Amino acid sequence: MKLPLLLGAKAETVFGALLVVRNRAVRLACGLALTTGVLLSLQEADRFPGAHQPRIVFLIAGTLTAVAGSRLFAPGGALAASRQVATTWWLVPLGRLTGALLAVLPVVVVPVIAMELTETDPLLLGFSVVIFGAAVASFSFSLAPIVGSSAAMAAAVASVWIGALPTAAVHEWIDKWPVAKKAMVLLWNTLPLPWRADRLFTESSSVDVLVLGGWIVVGFVVASWASTAAWTRRRRYGGRI
């Protein structure tokens, strides 16, 4: 990799981390995650049934990355800065995503320790958390230039929390809406939801890797397109857009 490309990746990584750390919504989400980890550590297993399930870890990681991802290409300074970078199309989303993950995913370590999950396969758990967090963040920042950062964050957080529900309960709820059943089943099977990350962790399913990895690619493409399209319109109309 050439030196200018390395410097550009470093700059975007730092910028992505700053976009996340300086945002109050992300700091609030991290505070809630840390509080959850402390509360779990104070609970006994028989008094808090289900607390040792890895899906709770994916719920926390998904919530943090959904909030953080919505800031990476938010309309305004973040999106405008992405239009000024003259480099490979994938460098900006890659750098900002890396910075966001480095800023928020260490917070997930506290719930992992609190729920005594360190005895499980640490590499597989770490891989599952990282690829799931990257997929959720990509889903969030791909929506941000189109619908706004707040709407993107709301959609990503809602999908994470719905996806953390037991599968049987979700199917029962879907059956009550026969008109939209096919659409909801399609969304349930295609969106980057916590149940898929949990299955990746427990079963090492290659399908889940492909789906979550596919969302990362989709996020990169959409974010790059939004930045390039906006920059093209701006040049065409003399900077009025």
Confidence (pLDDT) at 229: 58
Average pLDDT rounded to a whole number, residues 8-25: 85
Average pLDDT rounded to a whole number, residues 63-75: 91
Minimal CA–CA distance to 26: which of 157, 129, 145?
A: 157
Confidence (pLDDT) at 219: 92
Average pLDDT rounded to a whole number, residues 13-29: 85
pLDDT of 12 strictly over 90: no
pLDDT of 164 strictly over 90: no
* pLDDT category of residue 181 using cuts at 50, 70 and 90: confident
Average pLDDT rounded to a whole number, residues 159-164: 87
Is the separation of the CB atoms in 174 and 188 below 8 Å? yes
For the chain, give the mean pLDDT.
80
Average pLDDT rounded to a whole number, residues 76-93: 79
* pLDDT tens, position by position, 96-114: 999 999 999 888 887 777 7
Q: What sign results for the dihedral spanned by CA atoms 86, 150, 26, 36?
A: negative
Confidence (pLDDT) at 37: 66
Average pLDDT rounded to a whole number, residues 186-192: 88
Name every residue whose Cβ is closer than 8 Å to that of residue 191 and which is 6 or more positions away in sequence. 139, 159, 163
**Reported pTM:** 0.83
Q: Which residue has the tokens 């989303």?
A: 93
pLDDT of 9 strictly over 50: yes
* pLDDT tens, position by position, 31-66: 777 777 666 655 544 444 444 467 788 888 999 999
Distance CA 52, CA 63 (A): 18
Confidence (pLDDT) at 232: 43
